[in-house]
Amino acid sequence: MAYAHARRVLPGFGLSLGFTLAYLSLIVLIPLSAVFIKSAGMGWQAFLDAATGPRVVASYKLSFGTSLLAAAINVVFGLLLAWGLVRYTFPGKKLVDALIDLPFALPTAVAGIALTAIYAKNGWVGQLFEPFGIKIAFTPIGILIALIFIGLPFIVRTVQPILEDLDAEFEEAAASLGATRLQTFRRVVFPTLLPALLTGFALAFARAVGEYGSVIFIAGNIPFVSEITPLMIITKLEQYDYEGATAVASVMLIVSFLLLLVINGLQAWTSRRTGREA
């Protein structure tokens, strides 16, 4: 026992826990607490007026709505992309696999400018929809595309290792028992992937809610139409309305935390259910 204790690389539990809590407090807890403390000094009525104005509420609906929709779309197409990368071999596979991480490495402002140039009415893609009266850039559709772009890698990189570790013998056994491909996927593959899909969904949603750089250029920033909540916070800061900015930020923090809490609860429940079935 003494030898095992001497071989430990990390220090004891007390010191490790203290360092972890101190680091977490400095990086996460104290900055977030400052937002709530600043908002608390406003008074309840002033907080409600700043956080529930018609323009602000419209930005909430746009930011959270497009973030949820983008994350849901990425779950479907991210799964298909991960499946193709794991289960099939094709020319340029390594290049496609490398391009998945491009949104991580690309500066968000560069991504926003590139997407705006492509989907503007005179862009490569935008001009194809212009004759039909469909406008992509400077509309909520453009915001949705930008959020899909920055959120896709979270789904692929979360699901890909689970697919790689998934033993094909279970699928072969299901097929030998007469199960169709759809039944095999629904009863054998999908339950194993569900916790990873929920994790990827939560990560993609969290990134999309706070995204600013890649969205600000393609959004158009039209009040009540394409104005996102992070822009509302920046606008209030530029107007020296610090209390109003912290009030809006507090609402975003609370709603995001509650949504992520629900998603993590679902992930834990599906993990326990999968373990019992196994």
pLDDT value of position 11: 60
Torsion of CA 131, 136, 137, 142, to 10 degrees: -170
Cβ proximity of 55 and 252 under 8 Å: no
Which parts of the chain sit beneath pLDDT 50? 1-3
If you count them, how many residues does the chain have? 278
- Residue 105 has what pLDDT? 86
Residues 6+ apart with CB under 8 A from 200: 74, 75, 78, 154, 155, 156, 157, 158, 159
Q: Which amino acid is at 50?
A: A
State residue 181's pLDDT score. 81
Question: What are the distances in angstroms from CA 251 to CA 25, 74, 103, 182, 244?
Answer: 21, 25, 27, 42, 11
Helix (H) or strand (E) run with residue 257 in it: helix 242-277
CA dist., res. 98 & res. 206, Å (int):
23
Fold (CATH) for 44-277: MetI-like fold (1.10.3720)
pLDDT value of residue 10: 57
The dihedral formed by the CA atoms of 212, 215, 217 and 223, expressed in degrees to the nearest 10:
-90
DSSP 36: H
Contact criterion met (CB below 8 Å) for 72 and 263: no
> CA-CA distance, 274 to 198, in Å (whole number)?
14
